[in-house]
Structure 1
Amino acid sequence: MDRNLWALACSTVAAVTMAVGCSLIKPPADPDRSGVSAGGMGNEQLVELLAPRRIALKVMIATRPVDDPELREILWTAADEHIIPPEQRQRLEANGLRVAVVDTVFPPEIEEMLSPEAPVGQRIDPTIVAVPDGHATPIMLGPDQAVEHKTLFLSLGNGAVGRDYEQATGAMRVSASQADGGMAMRVVPEIHHGSDQLRYAPAENLGPFEPEQFVMREGKLEESFRDLTAKLTLEPEQVLILGCWPDRPGSLGHFLFTKTEPKSDRLLQTVVFIWATSAGATEIPWVEPVTPPNNLRRVDPSELGVEPVTPGGSTGQE
């Protein structure tokens, strides 16, 4: 071999050896450290590092006539709206929106409304989801069907404006992150409008080490009102309350939290109750674990009317 080529080969091997370490052979596992990996971290620490932290959200949406005292007066009397800073609270109020917290000890009328023992037809079934820490989850609100044309009067950072929307629906996008002793909540109102179209949107539920990705999605245009973002810390045993001032037609809050009763002219108002807590890798609060039945048995194919298949691929009849 040419001397220059030989020198180049030797230098290449030396460089690779220095890059990966003195030994290219993986040493045998140490039986005394079978539960330790990744630079001395235990298996539980490694799982916590690699698995994204999850937040469990329980959402209950109560809808009652707009003059119903339970949602119009009794609930808000017990709620604390001063958890929102004064300037932002005034801006929310100018747009017909209300955000507050309530201790889990509700007034008796509200307890009865949210009780799982409520009569059929009045019982409110909760929606429970587990999402990555900080993931923004939309709660769809407003009329049951998209409004063909809607004019909203908005009070934003640049002053009062009127905006027209076609095929409009509404949502409150809620995100929760673990904070010291509680949950840092962020709520942003949205209007979804226009016809459904294919567009690029950020991918959701990515792992902590995955780069940001964009995927094609079909849906309406989404307008987020970041000037009306509400931020607060939800302490343990507290519930987040979202609602509106129902006597302010034309406002964003009125559009999101009121609707007409089907087959009637009666106006209904909606209040959203949100609980938030941390969730484990496999356990979700408020959800009972599913126990597999203990009476499983092997079933012969003939019991199901299916001919057994021989190893050669033919049925028993052949």
Structure 2
Amino acid sequence: MLDRVTRTQALAVCLVMLIAGGCRAGLRTDAAAESAAAGVFDRPRTTPKTIQLELVFVRFEEHDPLFCDELWGLADEQVFDDALRRRLQANGLRAGVVTAQLPPQLADRFLPPASETGETLPAALPDNPALVRHMLRLLPGRGSDVMTATGLRELVLLAHDGDSLRGTTYRDASPLFALRAWPAADGRVRLQLSPTIKHGPVERSWVGEDGMFRLEAGQRRDSLDGLDFEATVPTGSMVIVGCVGDPASSAGDAFFRDRAGSRAGQRLLAIRPLMHAPLVDPMFTTPVVEPEGGGP
């Protein structure tokens, strides 16, 4: 009888110990879960890092040796494959990457002019300024329109595609480059440019993005097929784009050659990724770059 009571008491003690241990384990588990959840919600919100770019439009005379010869002698056009270079040249366009330091006489042409007192002159004072600079911040993969001219009442464009030639007349046209940028793992920046023509009256259309649709007002957009290109460049280097060949209503003429009635000449676009771009909230980014007046 005594042994039976002793065994019963021992079993009861063991049961109480198991229940107490389970409660403590449960409390510790709940506390750990609450602590982990609190850590997730207390974690600070990270601000998306934007890519800072410097855009420079330089205007020069038609046969300026500095821009027609010397600058392109420093540019690496081999970063683009042979087929792409042939398509660009057939349509009056030329592109390359400059990684070398510019000689002083060229570097000075990429700086804004200064007055006799040494103060920098506003770029918008002349009707056709020799240089226009823009600072642009882009979210990775998000696009921005870089206008090369605006408000062309009529634009005749002859597009070469292999052995075929196609002519198109655009009304109220604005040539532009649709620009996108992505950061590379090694600190370089990948730039993508797509030659595009905005034209016609302003229309409303539904645009889909990120699984949602929104109503936007804007002109029609025609991308010039086969002429988009991209290059991965180190910070401090630059991508240059310009026109080549004689005037012939080509894409190069539309984007970079001054229209009749203005000062004869060409324009060149240089895009340079900048170093140590600070963190900027996306709501303060500039999505569109437009030139002053009819062109940069």
Instruction: Quote the residue 2:140 is aligned against.
Output: 133
Residues 201, 216 of structure 1: 8 Å contact kept: yes
User: Within the alignment, does 1:281 sit opposite 2:279 as a pair?
Assistant: yes
The 5-angstrom pairing of residues 92-171 of structure 1 reads 92-103=88-99, 105-116=101-112, 118-119=114-115, 120=121, 124-142=131-149, 144-146=150-152, 148-156=153-161, 159-171=164-176
Q: Which residue of structure 1 aligns with residue 293 of structure 2?
A: none
Relative contact order (C-alpha < 8 Å, sep 6+): which is higher? Answer: 2
Question: Are the aligned partners of 1:104 and 1:237 in contact in 2 as well (CA < 8 Å)?
Answer: no
Contact 2:50 2:280 in 1 (8 A): no
- Cα displacement (A) at 1:67: 2.4
Q: Which amino acid aligns with 1:129?
A: L
Work out the percentage of aligned pairs sharing the same amino acid: 22
Q: What amino acid sits opposite 1:240 in the alignment?
A: V
- Residue 29 of structure 1 and its aligned partner are, at CA, apart by 6.8
User: Partners of 1:158 and 1:214 in 2: how far apart?
Assistant: 40
CA 1:101–1:221 in 2, change beyond 3 Å: closer, same or farther? same
* TM-superposition CA deviations, 1:8-48 (whole Å, max 9, x none): xxxxxxxxxxxxxx99x987975xx89x8339xx947x62x
Shift in Å at residue 70 of structure 1?
A: 2.6
Matching residue of 1:185: 191
In structure 2, the CA distance between the partners of 1:267 and 1:213, relative to structure 1 (3 Å rule), is farther
Provide the secondary structure at the position in 1 that maps to 2:73: helix
Q: For 1:54, give the aligned amino acid.
A: T
Structure 2 unpaired stretches of 5+: 1-26, 116-120, 124-128, 283-296
For the residue of structure 2 that corresponds to 1:250, the secondary structure is coil
Contact 2:48 2:281 in 1 (8 A): no
Structure 1: distance between partners of 2:31 and 2:224: 55
1:100-141 CA distance string (max 9 Å, x none): 111251122221112256443667352112121011211101
Residues 1:37 and 1:136: Cα distance change in structure 2 (over 3 Å): same
How has the CA–CA distance of structure 1 residues 219 and 260 changed in structure 2, closer, same or farther, with 3 Å as cutoff?
same
TM-score, length-normalised on structure 2? 0.71
Does structure 1 residue 272 correspond to structure 2 residue 274? no
Of structures 1 and 2, the larger Rg is shown by: 2
Cα 1:157–1:274 change in 2 (3 A) is same
- Counterpart of 1:310 in structure 2 is none
CA distance in structure 1 between the partners assigned to 2:106 and 2:281 by the alignment: 28
Task: Tell me the TM-score normalised to structure 1 length.
Answer: 0.66
Tell me if structure 1 keeps the 8 A contact 2:48–2:280: no
Q: CA RMSD in A?
A: 3.4
CA contact (8 A) 1:157 1:227 kept: no
Aligned to 1:15: none
Look up the equivalent residue of 1:107 and give its one-letter code: P
Aligned position for 1:231 = 230
Tell me the alpha carbon deviations over residues 196-223 of structure 1, each in whole angstroms, 9 at most, x when there is no partner. 12222345xxxxxxx3333222221111
Q: Distance in 2 between matches of 1:168 and 1:124?
A: 23
Aligned to 1:208: none
* Of 73, 76, 88, the match for 1:77: 73
Kindly tell me the number of residue pairs found equivalent between the two proteins.
244
Mark the CA change 1:89 to 1:54 in structure 2 (over 3 Å): closer, same or farther. Answer: same
CA distance in 1, matches of 2:156, 2:171: 9
Asked if the contact 1:156–1:228 (Cα under 8 Å) also holds between the matched residues in 2, the reply is: no
Partners of 1:104 and 1:239 within 8 A in 2: no
**Aligned equivalent of 2:40:** 38
Who is 2:50 aligned against? 54
* Contact residue 173 and residue 187 of structure 1 kept, 8 A: yes
